[in-house]
Amino acid sequence: MKARKLLMIPGPIEFEPEVMQSMATPTPGHVDPNFIESFGKALELMKSVWLCPAGQAFIIAGTGTLAMDIAGSNLIETGDNALVISTGYFGERYAELLKRYGANVDILRAPLGDVVPFDQIEAQLKKKNYKLMTFTHVDTSTAVLNDAKLFGKLGQKYEVLTILDGVCSVAGEEIRQEEWGIDVVLTASQKAIGVPPGLALLVASQKAIKAFENRKTPVGNYYCDWTNWLPVMKAYENRTPSYFGTPAVNLILALETSLKLILKEGMDKRFKRHLQAGKAFRSAIKALGLNMIPVNEKVSANTLSAPYYPERVTGGELLGGISKEGIIIAGGLLSEIKAKYFRVGHMGSVNRSDLLATVGAIESGLRVCNYSFNSGVGLKACQDILNDPA
Ligand SMILES: *Cc1c(COP(=O)(O)O)cnc(C)c1O
């Protein structure tokens, strides 16, 4: 019997075997001609996955938080006004980060499980001049989905640079960076991109690069500074060697593999598949009688779900029961309600069998906790959507 458990947390996710094979390639030097080709190709493929052909891609060793730091430090100078739209844990993180670089930060906070109303954001943009605005596409602490297209529109209308924290959405939720006019879309390797942790990934619009070039003061973070990284990215795109910091060679080989697999599936198909997985999983949770943090379907993420524990069911007992069934899911993250809910990632390579196995394990876990429900209702609801997505 297979001993390995299925990892259904919101990152790291389950990775494709081809990606893991790339990780096991004997490590080439960072100026090896074959590696230069892979690095250059990965940068190009990113722009296709991001749907931002005119953008500038960056691949830098680090986590998703580094990607946030890179965008923040390069675009903020002391005294700049920044607006953070917060739908949970990662919005608060962005506000703290921008303050370190001297930004005057205003935060608009959404009620738990909801988004900040559009009118409220627009009123704030009318009231004050901002250099940039950040928002979390999918906040991994609440599973709330923001309307990215709308933010792009607002940014264009009020001439504010927009930064989309897409760590839990890029290559899962629909993003059309160029068409929607979003200036920076950032993520990390271990989520829907499908590569082990260790790469900060972002694509910046030419407008964002220009804003960086027009800075009057040096970037307040040496490792993040685009002055160091832009020539490196451009060199690899032109298939010439360059160096600032040693690239994470094997991770970049794995990234090239994963991006190829993503584009082979096709972005439209991939967005639709995630939409269907999200819908099917939420349908199962609802059928089991559990509530979720997002207040309605429109603001529900498709890359992960965040259900509340039913009354008299404790996290330890339920997650333990689910783990016994061979599925790993995550506990809560938002401090105010941490012990009241759990999180299930369903992004990247997740397939129908994974979804059904997870719903089945949740049913088994609930049974162990003496929660009363009709056996199989979750599985049926999930399967009904998977069989008839329309
Ligand atoms: C995971 C995540 C991050 C942080 O990424 P790390 O790789 O853990 O630093 C930031 N934002 C969102 C939305 C995330 O889901």
Stretch 129-143: mean pLDDT, rounded?
A: 98
Assign residue 277 the CATH number of its domain: 3.90.1150.10
pLDDT band at 165; cut points 50, 70, 90: very high
Does the residue 198 lie in any domain?
Answer: yes
Stretch 280-301: mean pLDDT, rounded?
A: 98
Strand order in the sheet with 330-331: 304-305, 342-345, 330-331
Percentage of the chain modeled with pLDDT above 90: 98
Same domain flag for 27 and 139: yes
Q: What is residue 368's predicted lDDT score, i.e. its pLDDT?
A: 94
Task: Give the distance (Å) from ligand 1 centre to CA of residue 166.
Answer: 8
Does the residue 116 lie in any domain?
Answer: yes
Q: Which long-range contacts (CB under 8 A, 24 or more apart) does 371-376 make?
A: 371/310, 371/312, 371/313, 373/288, 373/289
Compute the distance between CA of residue 322 and CA of residue 313 in angstroms, rounded to an integer.
13
Q: What is residue 2's predicted lDDT score, i.e. its pLDDT?
A: 79
Mutate which of 96, 167, 185 for ligand 1? The one with the most ligand atoms within 8 Å of its CB, which is 167
Give the ligand 1 atom nearest the CA of 68: 10
Task: Give the distance (Å) from ligand 1 centre to CA of residue 32.
Answer: 31
Q: Any idea what DSSP says for residue 191?
A: S
Task: Give the distance (Å) from ligand 1 centre to CA of residue 238.
Answer: 30
Does the residue 1 lie in any domain?
Answer: no
Dihedral sign from CA coordinates of 301, 272, 154, 151: positive
**Which has more confidence, 388 or 87?**
87
Residue nearest to atom 2 of ligand 1 (CA): 167
* pLDDT over 70 at 287, yes or no: yes
Task: Give the distance (Å) from ligand 1 centre to CA of residue 190.
Answer: 9
Q: What is residue 164's predicted lDDT score, i.e. its pLDDT?
A: 98
Q: Which of 231, 265, 299 is the last residue of a domain?
A: 265
* pLDDT over 80 at 182, yes or no: yes
Does the residue 249 lie in any domain?
Answer: yes
Percentage of the chain modeled with pLDDT above 70: 99
Stretch 214-218: mean pLDDT, rounded?
A: 98
Residue nearest to atom 5 of ligand 1 (CA): 64
Query: H or E stretch including 274?
Result: helix 267-287
Task: Give the distance (Å) from ligand 1 centre to CA of residue 168.
Answer: 7
User: 352 by DSSP, 3-state: which?
Assistant: helix
Question: In the numeric block, which tokens belong to residue 103?
Answer: 């930004």
Helix and strand totals (H; E) in the chain: 14, 14
Does the residue 172 lie in any domain?
Answer: yes
Domain with 95, as residue range(s), is 17-265
Same domain flag for 260 and 314: no
pLDDT band at 105; cut points 50, 70, 90: very high
Question: In the numeric block, which tokens belong to residue 76?
Answer: 């903020």
Task: Give the distance (Å) from ligand 1 centre to CA of residue 67.
Answer: 9
Question: In the numeric block, which tokens belong to residue 189?
Answer: 């390797």
Question: In the numeric block, which tokens belong to residue 350?
Answer: 């997740």
Mutate which of 69, 70, 168, 346 for ligand 1? The one with the most ligand atoms within 8 Å of its CB, which is 168
Does the beta carbon of 63 lie inside 6 Å of ligand 1?
yes
* pLDDT over 70 at 389, yes or no: no
Give start and end residues of each alpha helix (H) in 350-389.
Answer: 352-368, 377-387
Does the residue 272 lie in any domain?
Answer: yes
Q: What is residue 34's predicted lDDT score, i.e. its pLDDT?
A: 97
Q: How many CA atoms lie within 13 A of 242 on its CB side?
A: 17
Q: Which long-range contacts (CB under 8 A, 24 or more apart) does 209-218 make?
A: 209/56, 211/75, 211/131, 211/161, 212/74, 212/75, 215/77, 216/77, 217/77, 217/78
Q: What is the pLDDT of residues 62-104, one digit of tens each?
A: 999 999 999 999 999 999 999 999 999 999 999 999 999 999 9
Does the beta carbon of 349 lie inside 6 Å of ligand 1?
no
Does the residue 379 lie in any domain?
Answer: yes
pLDDT, averaged across the chain:
97
Q: What is the pLDDT of residues 228-255, one digit of tens each?
A: 999 999 999 999 999 999 999 999 999 9
Does the beta carbon of 65 lie inside 6 Å of ligand 1?
yes
**Number of domains the chain is built from:** 2
Same domain flag for 107 and 212: yes
Beta-sheet pairing, 138-139 with 144-145: antiparallel
Does the residue 122 lie in any domain?
Answer: yes
Q: Which of 196, 230, 265 is the last residue of a domain?
A: 265
Q: Which of 265, 298, 323 is the last residue of a domain?
A: 265
Does the beta carbon of 140 lie inside 6 Å of ligand 1?
yes
Same domain flag for 254 and 286: no
Same domain flag for 259 and 275: no
Q: Which are the contacts of 12, defined by CB distance < 8 A and separation ≥ 6? A: 190, 191, 196, 197
CA distances to 47, 158, 177, 249, 340 from 283, in Å: 34, 38, 30, 41, 20
pLDDT band at 26; cut points 50, 70, 90: very high
Stretch 174-198: mean pLDDT, rounded?
A: 98
Task: Give the distance (Å) from ligand 1 centre to CA of residue 167.
Answer: 5
Same domain flag for 235 and 339: no
Same domain flag for 217 and 311: no
Stretch 329-339: mean pLDDT, rounded?
A: 96
Task: Give the distance (Å) from ligand 1 centre to CA of residue 65.
Answer: 6
Does the beta carbon of 168 lie inside 6 Å of ligand 1?
yes
Compute the distance between CA of residue 194 and CA of residue 171 in angstroms, rounded to an integer.
9
Is the preceding omega at residue 12 within 30 degrees of 0, hence cis? yes
Assign residue 192 the CATH number of its domain: 3.40.640.10
Q: Poorest-confidence range of 117-121, 200-204, 263-267, 386-390?
A: 386-390
Same domain flag for 326 and 237: no
Does the beta carbon of 165 lie inside 6 Å of ligand 1?
yes
Q: What is residue 388's predicted lDDT score, i.e. its pLDDT?
A: 84
Q: What is the pLDDT of residues 298-331, one digit of tens each?
A: 999 999 999 999 999 999 999 999 999 999 999 9
Whether the Cβ atoms of residue 36 and residue 239 lie closer than 8 Å to each other: yes
Same domain flag for 31 and 137: yes
Task: Give the distance (Å) from ligand 1 centre to CA of residue 189.
Answer: 10
Does the beta carbon of 135 lie inside 6 Å of ligand 1?
no
Same domain flag for 206 and 280: no
* pLDDT over 80 at 339, yes or no: yes
With 0-12 / 13-18 / 19 or more C-beta atoms within 10 angstroms meaning exposed / middle / buried, residue 314 is: exposed
* pLDDT over 70 at 390, yes or no: no
Compute the distance between CA of residue 38 and CA of residue 36 in angstroms, rounded to an integer.
5
Mutate which of 66, 90, 304 for ligand 1? The one with the most ligand atoms within 8 Å of its CB, which is 90
Same domain flag for 259 and 280: no
Same domain flag for 273 and 260: no
